[in-house]
Chains A and B, each alone.
Chain A
Amino acid sequence: MILYYLPLILIFLAAIISYKFNKTGYILTAIASIIFSVFTFKIYDYITYFYLIAAIVWVITSLFSITYSKNYGKWLSPLFILTVAGMMLILYSANFLVFISGWEIMSIPAYLTVAINKKNDIEAYVFMFFSEISTVLIITAGVLSFYYTGTLNFVKINNDIVLLIFAIGAMSKMGLTPFMISEWLPIAHGSAPANSSAIFSATMTLMGVYGITKLALLSPESLYVGILFIVIGIISVLFGALYAYISENMKSLGGFSTIENNGTILSVTGLFVAVNNSILRTFILITIVIYAMAHSIAKTGLFITVGHTGSEYFSEVNNIKDNENSLGKFFILSSLSGLLPSLGGLATWMVIEAFFMTAFLHGPLGVTAIIAGSLIAMGEGFATAAMLKIFYFTNRGNKKHIKYESHIILLNGVILVLLFIISPLIIGRYYISGIPSVLIFNGFMIESKFSNADFGLISPVYIFILILIFTVIAYMIFRKPKIRVSERWNGGIENNEYYNSFVYSNNIRLILKKILRTKYENNELIQTVDLFWLVMIDLAGAYRKISKYIAYKFMNSSISMYLIYMIFAFVLIIIITSVVY
């Protein structure tokens, strides 16, 4: 029993140690994460896949942080590890109480990280504001669940209202519509150091997905809640992808991409809630976890790639190229673009397959599914453009080149490819088959098996091997490419102007003028920020005023110290209550 909770103990220990020895702290976190996944992961028990996903992300980010966090002062590592600890608590939770405590332990250090990193603390308050909305809603869901079932434990409920309220709470944290219209998540996530941005984007939002999935498994099917999720998801996908494409801050780009991916996950979850066929349902569940896996791991990769450049904006990056980094980046970004041979490719295929198979159910759900599937495919297209932007314009870094970080980026990329290849092993046997007559042997092919007319089939191993073979053949034939470098021709004159990332994505700004509200004013290109966002800034401002007032009234110290005190008090109370409970 105590062994089962060992990782939790280790990680809180790590948080404390890391204040003095941050390297040790990070290594301990990585070890705790590995043990955690070993203890909890069970094959074919899909909800436990979330543990594996989280653990992989934590290991990668902790390893990356060892060199990365050097520039960020001593507070970064304890706060980072505390956030991870909070998430671990969430994953351990069997009842609402522990879940909520984990939720808060995860969130509060996150605000602090943002507050400490940014001179202007408005971002931290915006972050806090949205997170607290989510906490309030989740507590409400807990209370309602208690009302219906008589216990705070996660048990079967036969009412969909708990799921709905909980999901809205989680969505607020995930930055989805309607909480996304303003860009709070990308701005907040973009304001933290890259390693923290990575866990905010990759795992903090994963916790939301985890919670929703967990409750969806306990709740009854509901067509309306399902369709609502799908619609919210799709809007998020389209807007997230568009904004990602035009974003000039690299970390904000990652943030928007997270919204897009979470949108996809939410709409697939909606499908799960709405569908009542058990074969299809399981397939959809697998889709959710595989997609979450692809998103979280690749998103981590994206943030560490960006962190590796040492800058925030595309315009600040300049010329150093490193093959290892490029290769890792290539796999990571192709995964985020939904391309093969990476896990993201498989995940996207499964999403589209799930939606199009649902069309066989006919009725309103069938129609919604077809439209949703096509829109998601479109969103993926935009995402590819956004990812290409990252690929081209981060090929350079102005920080002193750290080889170690490139190794981690490559590792991250390779993990995505490996997971793609072994995916048939972790997907339930029922969905694995083969067509021996065309030399695809049993056990190598994934299909949805819902109707005898499959929409599509995929065989990761074969794809990988084919790509490999063709690469080798091409190499054998052409050998190392003979490159002849010659001067570029630019009308015959010198011009040291480079195509930049803003110019790259300006086409969309202009095409979607109406939606993005781009216009020229006095020769200046203006992109009107959302009205909603302006209101939010006001709200956050008011919130900050009140907090400051309270802080000055009751504690004669800095606001940061006050918050730090808050966490420790909170952690203590929570741990005591949960143990007692």
Chain B
Amino acid sequence: MKYYKFGNKNGRYIGSNNKYDVYENTIASKIPENNAIIEKKPYEIYFNYGPSAGGLRESVNFSIVTPGETIRDITVNSHYKRRKIKIINDDINNALLKIERINGFHTASNTVCFLLAIEDALDIDNTGSNDKRIIEIELERIRSNIDVIKGLCESAGFSVPEKQLLYLREKITRIISDTFNHRYFFSANQINNVCGNFNKIRLNGIYDEFYEIYNSLLESKIFMDRIQENGIVNDINSSGPAARASGYKYDARIDSESLTYDNYNIYTMEEGDTFSRFMVRSNEVLASINIINKLLREIGNGKNNTEIKNNSGEGTARIESPQGDIFYYVNIEDNKIKDLSMVSPSYLNIELFKKAVKNNNILTDFFFVWESFGIWVSELEVDFI
């Protein structure tokens, strides 16, 4: 474990899973949360939405306490689609197939982070694939952020930009597919290696198209009205675009050594509302395209040396996934997974979402707030057995 040690709270909070509370540099044992049930007042009702309803991409249930129109409080029940994945005692290659399928839309971040943890555990020099992995993750970030903004347009009933962004998303997916031979990066990552044909990546067209949509959205008064000053949250325990939208310069691209970016500039906003998150995400799309373009000029296409010396060890990794910090801890014995633990960005984002949505919002704001965090239940509700 080069980057982490077990111990007490140290540095910023990354999130929790059912075993640990994870901080910037330490893994602490978990302090149990208290999930008090929200009592409603006699004049209020529980407004139920989900787990399966139109407008929800994944199965998740919300119970909104409302006296009518305003949201006073909310409970998010995400346990419905909890998956139990048998991964302990698998060998690394087999485990990889399962890690890819924790969150299919963010496979690159998950797999890369998992592999970085393994490389840390087995003490493998992985500098050779650093840049390729960055390209991969930044591509995923572009697609993910576009998807979130698409969600915002959908909530506003803005079909034209929604479809245009959907079009862009598919275009990027095709670039990914051409480069990595799979539309969702499945089977593209190996220990200290990324299989991909990097000279197929052409993003200049995407940059212009996205920039145009982004500017048009900024000009649209209706859209701005809908997303400004709603879902305001400002919390020191936050990560990813949501943190950066309320002024925290939290970014694993800067404060984690698992992947090394050189001189990345963090874009932040102060207000912490849905609009700020929109701004942060949009600008990160543009920034990511620039990062990729720069790296593409530098990398070669050669294969890396994947000689494995050890076959046991403990390792960790933390990188910046599109939604925030993602963290993996692995314990390998005889090339088999002995223990595995991950913290997904959705954990903190869901906490933030809950705070944001009850901060003086009405029911129609709900979708904007939900979409703006880009939460994935699939990565939140997995048990490794």
Q: Are A495 and B48 in contact (CB-based, < 8 A)? A: yes
- Interface stretch, picked from B39-47, B198-206, B345-353, is B39-47
User: 1/0 contact trace for A522-563 toward B, CB 8 Å?
Assistant: 011100000000000000000000000000000000000000
What residues on A are CB-neighbors of B53 within 8 Å?
489, 491-492
What residues on B are CB-neighbors of A451 within 8 Å?
none
Task: Name the residue of chain A whose CB is nearest to the CB of B48.
Answer: A495
What residues on A are CB-neighbors of B67 within 8 Å?
502-503, 506, 525
Contact of B69 among A489, A491, A507, A520 (CB under 8 A): A507
Given contacts A492-B51, A506-B69, contact A499 B61 (CB under 8 A): no
Q: In the complex, A491 Cα to B106 Cα: how many Å?
A: 26
Q: Does B72 contact A (CB under 8 A)?
A: yes
Q: In the complex, A49 Cα to B153 Cα: how many Å?
A: 60
User: 1/0 contact trace for B279-313 toward A, CB 8 Å?
Assistant: 00000000000000000000000000000000000
Restricting to A501-523, which residues have a CB under 8 Å from any CB of B? Answer: 502-507, 509-510, 520, 523
Q: Are A491 and B49 in contact (CB-based, < 8 A)? A: yes
Chain B residues touching A, majority SS: loop
Q: Among A491, A504, A510, A525, which residue has the most Cβ atoms of chain B within 10 A?
A: A491
Restricting to A458-498, which residues have a CB under 8 Å from any CB of B? Answer: 489-493, 495, 497-498
Least CB distance from A526 to B in Å reads 11
Given contacts A491-B52, A523-B73, contact A497 B68 (CB under 8 A): no
Least CB distance from A58 to B in Å reads 37
Q: Does B66 contact A (CB under 8 A)?
A: yes
Least CB distance from A34 to B in Å reads 44
Contact of A525 among B43, B47, B48, B50 (CB under 8 A): B43
Q: In the complex, A211 Cα to B200 Cα: how many Å?
A: 91
What residues on B are CB-neighbors of A491 within 8 Å?
48-53, 61
What residues on A are CB-neighbors of B173 within 8 Å?
none
What residues on B are CB-neighbors of A498 within 8 Å?
45
Q: In the complex, A563 Cα to B46 Cα: how many Å?
A: 49
Contact of B66 among A493, A495, A503 (CB under 8 A): A503
**Chain B: interface residue total (CB-CB under 8 A):** 23
Least CB distance from A518 to B in Å reads 10
Q: In the complex, A315 Cα to B46 Cα: how many Å?
A: 15
Least CB distance from A315 to B in Å reads 7
Q: In the complex, A506 Cα to B65 Cα: how many Å?
A: 14
Q: In the complex, A423 Cα to B379 Cα: how many Å?
A: 71
Q: Does A324 contact B (CB under 8 A)?
A: no
User: 1/0 contact trace for B357-378 toward A, CB 8 Å?
Assistant: 0001010000000000000000
**Chain A: interface residue total (CB-CB under 8 A):** 24
Q: Are B52 and A495 in contact (CB-based, < 8 A)? A: no
What residues on A are CB-neighbors of B51 within 8 Å?
491-493
Contact of B61 among A315, A493, A497, A520 (CB under 8 A): A493
Q: Are A500 and B72 in contact (CB-based, < 8 A)? A: no
User: 1/0 contact trace for B298-337 toward A, CB 8 Å?
Assistant: 0000000000000000000000000000000000000000
Least CB distance from B58 to A in Å reads 13
Restricting to B45-101, which residues have a CB under 8 Å from any CB of A? Answer: 45-53, 61, 66-70, 72-73
Q: Are A490 and B48 in contact (CB-based, < 8 A)? A: yes
Contact of B45 among A500, A505, A509, A520 (CB under 8 A): A500
Least CB distance from A505 to B in Å reads 7
Q: Are A506 and B52 in contact (CB-based, < 8 A)? A: no
Q: Among A315, A505, A520, A525, which residue has the most Cβ atoms of chain B within 10 A?
A: A525
Q: Are A493 and B72 in contact (CB-based, < 8 A)? A: no
Given contacts A503-B68, A507-B69, contact A497 B362 (CB under 8 A): no
What residues on A are CB-neighbors of B50 within 8 Å?
491-492
Q: In the complex, A248 Cα to B52 Cα: how many Å?
A: 34
Q: Are B41 and A495 in contact (CB-based, < 8 A)? A: no
What residues on A are CB-neighbors of B41 within 8 Å?
524-525
Q: In the complex, A524 Cα to B362 Cα: how many Å?
A: 16
Q: In the complex, A210 Cα to B39 Cα: how many Å?
A: 52
Q: In the complex, A309 Cα to B7 Cα: how many Å?
A: 65
Contact of A510 among B44, B47, B362 (CB under 8 A): B362
Q: In the complex, A502 Cα to B41 Cα: how many Å?
A: 11
Q: In the complex, A493 Cα to B77 Cα: how many Å?
A: 12
Q: Are A504 and B43 in contact (CB-based, < 8 A)? A: no
What residues on B are CB-neighbors of A524 within 8 Å?
41
Least CB distance from B366 to A in Å reads 14
Q: Are A492 and B52 in contact (CB-based, < 8 A)? A: yes
Contact of A497 among B43, B46, B70 (CB under 8 A): B46
Taking beta carbons and an 8 Å cutoff, which residues of B are in contact with A? 41-53, 61, 66-70, 72-73, 360, 362
Known: A491-B53, A503-B67, A520-B360. 12 other contacts (CB 8 A): A492-B50, A492-B51, A502-B44, A504-B68, A505-B68, A510-B68, A510-B70, A510-B362, A520-B72, A523-B73, A525-B43, A525-B72
16 examples of A-B residue contacts, CB within 8 angstroms: A315-B42, A315-B43, A491-B48, A492-B50, A492-B52, A492-B53, A499-B45, A503-B66, A503-B67, A503-B68, A504-B68, A506-B68, A510-B70, A510-B362, A525-B43, A525-B67
The 6 closest A-B pairs by CB, nearest first: A506-B68, A503-B68, A502-B43, A492-B52, A495-B48, A491-B50
